Structure 1
Amino acid sequence: MQLGRTKFLARYGYGKSRDFLVRDPKTGTDCDSKAIAGVAYGKQFPDQGPLTADGFSGGEATVMSALTRLGFAIIRIGEDWSEAEVAATVTDYFEMLRAEAAGLPFSKSEHNQALRRQLNGRSKSSVELKHQNISAVLDALGLPYINGYKPRGNSQLLLPKSVQAYVLEHQQLVGTIVDALEEVKLPGDKTYLAALVEPPTREALVRAPVTMRNRMPRKFDYAARDEANRSLGRAGEQWVIEFEQQRLTDLGRAELFQRLDWVSDTQGDGVGFDILSFEDDALHRFIELKTTNGGLGSSFLVSHNELAFSKEAGEQFYLYRVCQFRDGSRLFTLGGDLAQHVHLKPIDYRASFR
Structure 2
Amino acid sequence: MSQLSQLRSPAAVQAAIDEFVQLGRTKFLARYGYGKSRDFLVRDPKTGTDCDSKAITGVAFGKQFPEQGPLTADSFSGGEATVVPTLTRLGFRIIRIGEDWSEEEVLATVEDYFDMLRAEAAGEPYNKSEHNQTLRQQLNGRSKSSVELKHQNISAVLDALGLPYINGYKPRGNSQLLLRKSVQAFVLERQKLVGSIVDALEEVKLPGEKTYLAALVEAPKREVFVPSATKVRDRMPRKFDFAARDEANRRLGRAGEQWVIEFEQRRLTAAGHPELFQRLDWVSDTQGDGAGFDILSFEDETQHRFIEVKTTNAGVGSSFLVSHNELEFSREVGEQFHLYRVFQFRDGPRLFMLPGDLSQHVHLKPTDYRASFRAVVG
> What interval of TM-score do these two structures reach, taking the shorter chain for normalisation?
0.7 to 0.9
Match of 1:141 among 120, 136, 161: 161
1:280 is the counterpart of 2:300: yes
1:262 is the counterpart of 2:282: yes
- Residue of structure 2 equivalent to 1:59: none
- Residue of structure 2 equivalent to 1:223: 243
**Counterparts of 1:226 and 1:173 in 2: how far apart (Å)?**
17
Q: Do 1:16 and 1:32's aligned partners in 2 also have CA atoms closer than 8 Å?
A: no
Q: What are the equivalent positions in structure 2 for 1:1-354 lying under 5 Å apart?
A: 19=42, 78=97, 80-207=100-227, 211=232, 213-214=234-235, 216-354=236-374
Q: CA RMSD in A?
A: 2.6
**Counterparts of 2:367 and 2:32 in 1: how far apart (Å)?**
54
**Counterparts of 1:155 and 1:207 in 2: how far apart (Å)?**
8
**Counterparts of 1:123 and 1:11 in 2: how far apart (Å)?**
19
Judged with a 3 Å threshold, the aligned counterparts in structure 2 of structure 1 residues 104 and 80 are, in CA distance, closer, same or farther, namely same
**Counterparts of 2:275 and 2:240 in 1: how far apart (Å)?**
44
Which AA in structure 1 matches 2:126?
F
Q: Do 1:143 and 1:221's aligned partners in 2 also have CA atoms closer than 8 Å?
A: yes
- Residue of structure 2 equivalent to 1:69: none
Judged with a 3 Å threshold, the aligned counterparts in structure 2 of structure 1 residues 207 and 344 are, in CA distance, closer, same or farther, namely farther
Judged with a 3 Å threshold, the aligned counterparts in structure 2 of structure 1 residues 169 and 258 are, in CA distance, closer, same or farther, namely same
**Counterparts of 2:259 and 2:237 in 1: how far apart (Å)?**
32
Query: Counterpart of 1:326 in 2: which secondary structure?
Result: coil
Judged with a 3 Å threshold, the aligned counterparts in structure 2 of structure 1 residues 345 and 12 are, in CA distance, closer, same or farther, namely closer
Q: Percent identity?
A: 75
Q: Do 2:177 and 2:231's aligned partners in 1 also have CA atoms closer than 8 Å?
A: no
Judged with a 3 Å threshold, the aligned counterparts in structure 2 of structure 1 residues 94 and 280 are, in CA distance, closer, same or farther, namely same
Query: Counterpart of 2:281 in 1: which secondary structure?
Result: coil
Once the two structures are superposed, residues 68-93 of structure 1 have per-residue CA deviations (whole angstroms, 9 ceiling, x without a partner) of xxxxxxxx883521111111111110
Gaps of at least 5 residues in structure 1 are 22-30, 34-52, 55-75
Query: Counterpart of 2:341 in 1: which secondary structure?
Result: strand
Deviation at residue 222 of structure 1 after TM alignment: 0.8
Which AA in structure 1 matches 2:320?
F
Q: Do 2:293 and 2:326's aligned partners in 1 also have CA atoms closer than 8 Å?
A: yes
**Counterparts of 1:126 and 1:290 in 2: how far apart (Å)?**
34
Name the TM-score, length of structure 2 as normaliser: 0.74
Deviation at residue 304 of structure 1 after TM alignment: 0.3
Gaps of at least 5 residues in structure 2 are 1-23, 45-49, 53-61, 64-94
**Counterparts of 1:313 and 1:13 in 2: how far apart (Å)?**
54
Deviation at residue 217 of structure 1 after TM alignment: 2.4
Query: Counterpart of 1:101 in 2: which secondary structure?
Result: helix
Judged with a 3 Å threshold, the aligned counterparts in structure 2 of structure 1 residues 243 and 157 are, in CA distance, closer, same or farther, namely same
Judged with a 3 Å threshold, the aligned counterparts in structure 2 of structure 1 residues 164 and 7 are, in CA distance, closer, same or farther, namely closer
Q: Do 1:20 and 1:77's aligned partners in 2 also have CA atoms closer than 8 Å?
A: no
Which AA in structure 1 matches 2:101?
W
Once the two structures are superposed, residues 218-269 of structure 1 have per-residue CA deviations (whole angstroms, 9 ceiling, x without a partner) of 2121100111001000000000000000000001100010110000001100
Aligned length: 301
Deviation at residue 207 of structure 1 after TM alignment: 4.7
